[in-house]
Every structure is written in C-alpha cells, then in structure tokens.
Structure 1
Amino acid sequence: MDLRFVGIDPETDDDGCPTVWVDREAEDILIQSYTADAESAGKCHALSPAKAPIPPTETIIRIPRRMVPLIRKACDDLDGLR
C-alpha cells in the first residue's frame, strides 16, 4: 500500500479529526470523517438509485465543506498518476 497523507480538517480539535489520504497503489481516496446520523443516512438511501440496504462494508459519512480543498487535492494526486 502506497498511502499518502493529504490533509486534516483545518478546524480539527481533540474530539475529531476528519482526515484525507490517497492510496496511490490502489488509486483510492480514504476519508475519515463524521458518521452521518440516521436521518441523513435514511434520506440518502431514499434518494439512491440502489434500492438495497447499505451493506455492512459501506457507510455514509459527512464531510465538512471546509475539507473540499483537501478532497480536490486528493483527486489531483490521483489524476497525476496517469
């Protein structure tokens, strides 16, 4: 695994630290963030074209807007591999 740290929530504190990494070998973005509450997850599921329940290997996370630049940076990193 060729894991590269991209960045951490600029407003992080001791209670939470949403973080972004890129796995350059698998060409994936890994994100640690807040778990979506049940109401949000239910609404996402209702709007999804996939009608099956969310599998146990997946979850819905909430990413703060202030982390958008980190997500873009991670995407740019992956784009640079090709």
Structure 2
Amino acid sequence: MALRFIGIDPNTGTGESPTVWVDESRNELVIQGWKPDREIEVQCAAFEVRGHAVGIPDHEAVVRVPARMVPILRKACDAAERAELR
C-alpha cells in the first residue's frame, strides 16, 4: 500500500484530526474522520436506493468530516484520478 498524505483538517490544533490520504496502489481515498452519533448511523443504515443494501456491512464504516475539508477532498480525488491514469 502506497499512502500519500493529502491534507488534514485546518482546525487540527483543537484536538481534532480528520485526515485524507490517497492509496495510490489501489486508486482509493482513505479518510479518517469522526465517528457519527447513533442517529446519523441509523439514518445511513436505513438508506434505501437501488443497488445499495440496507444496513452497514461489518467491513464498512460511516465517518464524518467537516465541510471545510472539501478542498482537501477535491485534491484527493484529483490525485486518485491521476494515479489511475498511470
């Protein structure tokens, strides 16, 4: 696995540290975020759309990241796309 650090929450000095990496070997984003409260997790688990199983499989997780990290997520998406094109 070749993780490339992309960015961290600009407010990290407050004891929070949501972070974004790109796994260049798999062309995937790796996101560290806050655990959601139970209400959000229940809403996500109940979400129904064609092709999406209801519930959250044991090998998956729901995480929250602040909207202020959108530019970092865009940068990560661009980096993952570039890695995919190599």
TM-score (norm 2): 0.85
Partner of 2:73: 71
CA distance in 2, matches of 1:10, 1:22: 18
Higher helix share: 2
Write out the 4+ residue segments of structure 1 that deviate beyond 3 Å after TM superposition.
none
The one-character-per-residue Cα deviations of 1:30-81 (angstroms, maximum 9, x if unpaired) are 0000011110111122223334431221111111100111110000001112
Structure 2 unaligned regions, length at least 5: none
Aligned 1:40-79 pairs, distance under 5 A: 40-49=40-49, 50-79=52-81
Aligned 1:20-39 pairs, distance under 5 A: 20-39=20-39
The one-character-per-residue Cα deviations of 1:7-29 (angstroms, maximum 9, x if unpaired) are 00001135220000001011110
TM-score (norm 1): 0.88
RMSD of aligned Cα (Å)? 1.4
Structure 1 unaligned regions, length at least 5: none
Higher strand share: 1
CA distance in 1, matches of 2:55, 2:66: 25
Percent identical pairs in the alignment equals 43
